[in-house]
Structure 1
Amino acid sequence: MSKEAFSRAQSYITEKAGEMAVFSDYLAAHPELSEEEYETSRMMADKLREAGFAVEYPYIGLPTAFIGKKISPDGESSGRPVVAVMVEYDALPEIGHACGHNLHGTMALYAGMAIGEAMGDLVGELRVVGTPAEETDGAKIRMADEGVFDDVDFAIMFHSFAGESFADYRSLGIDGLDFTFTGQTSHSAASPWRGRSAQSGMLLFIDALNMLRIHMHDYCRLAAYITEVKGAVNIIPDRAVCRVEARAPEQSIQRELTAAVLECARGAAIATRTEVSWKNFEGSFAPMLPNLTAEKLAEETMVEYGVICTKGHPATGSTDVGNVSYRCPAIQPEFAITPRSLDLHTREFAAATTAEEGHEALVKGARVIADICLKVFTDDDLRKKIKAEFEAAKR
């Protein structure tokens, strides 16, 4: 790695450490929900412009997405390394930044700007990509589908975690579907034989899902809840809606599980003489495609900064970074912002992002991300090995 590039990037983070904490805390105090991150995204895009990035905002038709680019002074990016740093910043209803997006979003943003300071000593192109709505529809899904990452050699973000850090993050894919059962109203006492209960179809469907659970692969998950039933106690309901999330650790298992869910819906409708339709209520999240070479690089770099890494974690949560990982080599290490064992999506975790320990992790994480990216930029053999593993994994 270029010593000059490393020095420039790390000096920038040292200089901006206090500013980073203030920025992250401001986002914590002013959380914005998925697809409503107007002030947050504007502030981040402005930061990138001030740092000399060419910024497109809004981006690909998403009002709260952005991309900032810096190309090395040779002025030529074609055929040169392209590295992307992904930034998240949406919050959760009621409990704000209880997933830590304020902290690791700031971490990624400032790591990107630090790398930008070093581009004069590098060859290639840096992209800082603002990716809204991770908690709902997953903007990275659309970005991946539209080819935003197709020419990227390496993409990275850290995600806030608690109690431990690890580079070998695995995720579950998700298919999120709304099922609508339609029947025929009738008086439930005077002429029940004329009715067809949409509620019965939906309840039988949920019973079928409960039976399906005992046949699922390891780490698969099914969640369902009722969102609507129309009618009254003396009226057989002709409409019932429920929402289902099916999660699996591999794409082939995901397809199999979702197909089984649809069979349960069709069977319930046939058995109750109702009709059923379905539609996605969110984009389908793909499970992470592992890249062991990139993960090894991340873990070794984390250790250099005194971060103890654990290994062997099963897939549990889900992320739209999974969709990116099928378009380019991409990783999402989990980075402890507190030594305490806290659950994500809790008020306690949200509070940890603004504590002193959270501020220290914020700065350290930015340093590590910048260091990892600089190694990728400057090591041709490393990039080739990462890319070869990516291509093999896709096959």
Structure 2
Amino acid sequence: MRDYETIINTIQNYIDSHSSEITAFSDYLAAHPELSGEEYNTSKLMVEKLCQNGFDVKYPFCGIPTAYCAKKTHGLNKPVIAIMVEYDALPVIGHACGHNLHGTMAMYAGIALGQAISDWCGELRVIGTPAEEADGAKILMADRGVFDDVDLAIMFHAFGGESYADYRALGINGFDFTFTGQTAHSAASPWDGRSAQNGVLLFMDAMNMLRLHMHDHCRLHAIITQVDGAANIIPDKSICRVEARAPEKKMLDDLTEAVFKCAKGAAIATDTKVVWERFEGRFEPMLPNCAAEKLAEDVMAKYGVICTHGHNATGSTDVGNVSYKCPAIQPEFAITSKKLSLHTREFAEATTSPEGHEALLKGTKIMAEICLRVITDDMLRSTIRSEFEAKAIHNNS
């Protein structure tokens, strides 16, 4: 068996010798963005690349047409490392969340690490996880046990201006609230009507009052998506889409229940009826794993990437759902020195810049080495697992 440094050199040499291919792959995805659930060409290209590099691939995977699971196994199937790959784009502005870049980074980190597969016993999984910007395929995968036996699940997310390993995410509950009432002529007999629109408006007023009592970092977003009627007709149907976000599971449960009470109260006050249903899967808050985050920080520092600290939970990710099934991390990785916001055209342009290309190659090396450390260090792996189990039991109780 080759020593650790020899394996690292093999991984780095692979990435360096394929640098043009790696950057071209990312740039191609940037030029050909595909929306959530429609990543047919992107997933096909990734699967072809993984098959060419000796992975055993299931595609489609988990009942999702654009998902895949690529495996390399040697000897015993322990430890198990899962590298998560994202590749869906946003409407209108394309890969403005950087999935083309960090998705390519994840895939090639897996390919490079796979070159050393014969030097250790275990299983490497490169898992294609589409639709992060919509329903979040990782939610379904987590529910179906894809990550239950994994020792570390990892991905990097592209970011602007700084890098940090201690990423925290808000959980999301998203529902459509449908109010129904009774039509009537707005001038001739308004007393015979019951306005579903009034139900929604009062519901939104109630949520605005609820904000006074929310915990720090909790969020409520609401938009009226439908009103049936006209100026001279009392509306009998109106729909409001709501997202509740919170940094902890119980906070999310409590906030969601408070929103339900607002809806019920508004319906009673306006003599309308209300029902609700999910329009997206529930994204869980991120369950931290400090041991794995410290590992990521150390390896990033080795490559000259110094992490910042103390970031509040702001965005949301379906990696949060994975983090309750196995140790999981999602470091934010700067692809530009500019403090650019995600979901902007400027960020999309940064993914294909020379600076973005440099970050892509460096991040690929870093991710591969983080995984190798977990594979080869039994004590580190045990520490990561112990922290996960303690926190998962506490948060699931």
Q: Shorter-chain TM-score: which interval? A: over 0.9
> Within 5 Å, which residues of 2 pair with 1:105-144?
105-144=103-142
- Tell me, in whole angstroms, the C-alpha distance in 1 between the residues paired with 2:7 and 2:328: 23
- Tell me, in whole angstroms, the C-alpha distance in 1 between the residues paired with 2:177 and 2:11: 50
Measured after TM superposition, the shift of residue 96 of structure 1 is: 0.1
- Tell me, in whole angstroms, the C-alpha distance in 1 between the residues paired with 2:267 and 2:295: 51
Q: Does residue 26 of structure 1 match 2:50?
A: no
Residue 213 of structure 1: aligned partner? 211
Residue 44 of structure 1: aligned partner? 46
Contact residue 5 and residue 122 of structure 1 kept, 8 A: no
Measured after TM superposition, the shift of residue 95 of structure 1 is: 0.2
Residue 300 of structure 1: aligned partner? 298
- Please state whether the residue corresponding to 1:199 is helix, strand or coil: helix
What do residues 328-378 of structure 1 show as CA deviations (whole Å, max 9, x unaligned)? Answer: 000000000000110000000000000000000000000000000000000
Q: Does residue 259 of structure 1 match 2:257?
A: yes
Residue 358 of structure 1: aligned partner? 356
Letter paired with 1:221: R
> Within 5 Å, which residues of 2 pair with 1:143-222?
143-222=141-220
Contact residue 5 and residue 119 of structure 1 kept, 8 A: no
Which segment drifts farther, 215-224 or 1-10? Answer: 1-10
- Tell me, in whole angstroms, the C-alpha distance in 2 between the residues paired with 1:126 and 1:9: 15
Residue ranges of structure 1 left out of the alignment (5+ in a row)? none
Residue 16 of structure 2: aligned partner? 14
What do residues 47-83 of structure 1 show as CA deviations (whole Å, max 9, x unaligned)? Answer: 10000000000001100000000001x2x31xx1000
Measured after TM superposition, the shift of residue 3 of structure 1 is: 2.7
Letter paired with 2:367: I
Q: Does residue 274 of structure 1 match 2:276?
A: no
Residue 94 of structure 2: aligned partner? 96
Letter paired with 2:122: G
Letter paired with 1:199: Q
- Tell me, in whole angstroms, the C-alpha distance in 1 between the residues paired with 2:286 and 2:22: 29
Residue ranges of structure 2 left out of the alignment (5+ in a row)? none
- Please state whether the residue corresponding to 2:315 is helix, strand or coil: coil
Letter paired with 2:96: A
- Tell me, in whole angstroms, the C-alpha distance in 2 between the residues paired with 1:383 and 1:93: 40
What do residues 187-229 of structure 1 show as CA deviations (whole Å, max 9, x unaligned)? Answer: 1111111111000000000000100111100000101011000
- Please state whether the residue corresponding to 1:120 is helix, strand or coil: helix
Taking structure 1 as the reference length, what is the TM-score of the superposition?
A: 0.98
- Tell me, in whole angstroms, the C-alpha distance in 2 between the residues paired with 1:7 and 1:360: 18
Letter paired with 2:176: D
Letter paired with 1:382: L
Contact residue 181 and residue 239 of structure 1 kept, 8 A: yes
- Tell me, in whole angstroms, the C-alpha distance in 2 between the residues paired with 1:276 and 1:264: 11
Taking structure 2 as the reference length, what is the TM-score of the superposition?
A: 0.98
Measured after TM superposition, the shift of residue 10 of structure 1 is: 1.5
Contact residue 288 and residue 321 of structure 1 kept, 8 A: yes
- Tell me, in whole angstroms, the C-alpha distance in 2 between the residues paired with 1:353 and 1:29: 11
- Tell me, in whole angstroms, the C-alpha distance in 2 between the residues paired with 1:137 and 1:3: 41
Contact residue 4 and residue 121 of structure 1 kept, 8 A: no
- Tell me, in whole angstroms, the C-alpha distance in 2 between the residues paired with 1:176 and 1:89: 23
Residue 2 of structure 1: aligned partner? 4
- Tell me, in whole angstroms, the C-alpha distance in 1 between the residues paired with 2:9 and 2:339: 34
Contact residue 184 and residue 236 of structure 1 kept, 8 A: yes
- Please state whether the residue corresponding to 2:65 is helix, strand or coil: coil
- Please state whether the residue corresponding to 2:225 is helix, strand or coil: strand
Q: Does residue 334 of structure 1 match 2:336?
A: no
- Tell me, in whole angstroms, the C-alpha distance in 2 between the residues paired with 1:176 and 1:308: 36
- Tell me, in whole angstroms, the C-alpha distance in 1 between the residues paired with 2:118 and 2:204: 59
Letter paired with 2:374: V
- Tell me, in whole angstroms, the C-alpha distance in 1 between the residues paired with 2:283 and 2:358: 31
Letter paired with 2:55: F
Measured after TM superposition, the shift of residue 4 of structure 1 is: 3.2
Measured after TM superposition, the shift of residue 9 of structure 1 is: 1.5
Q: Does residue 250 of structure 1 match 2:248?
A: yes
- Tell me, in whole angstroms, the C-alpha distance in 1 between the residues paired with 2:353 and 2:9: 28
Residue 344 of structure 1: aligned partner? 342
Aligned counterpart for 1:66 among listed residues 65, 68, 80:
68
RMSD between superposed Cα atoms in Å = 0.7
Letter paired with 1:372: I
- Tell me, in whole angstroms, the C-alpha distance in 2 between the residues paired with 1:282 and 1:8: 42
Measured after TM superposition, the shift of residue 12 of structure 1 is: 1.2
Contact residue 219 and residue 315 of structure 1 kept, 8 A: yes
- Please state whether the residue corresponding to 2:60 is helix, strand or coil: coil
Letter paired with 1:69: K
Residue 228 of structure 2: aligned partner? 230
- Tell me, in whole angstroms, the C-alpha distance in 1 between the residues paired with 2:11 and 2:80: 17
Measured after TM superposition, the shift of residue 38 of structure 1 is: 0.3
Structure 1 segments (4+ residues) deviating >4 Å: none
Measured after TM superposition, the shift of residue 7 of structure 1 is: 2.3
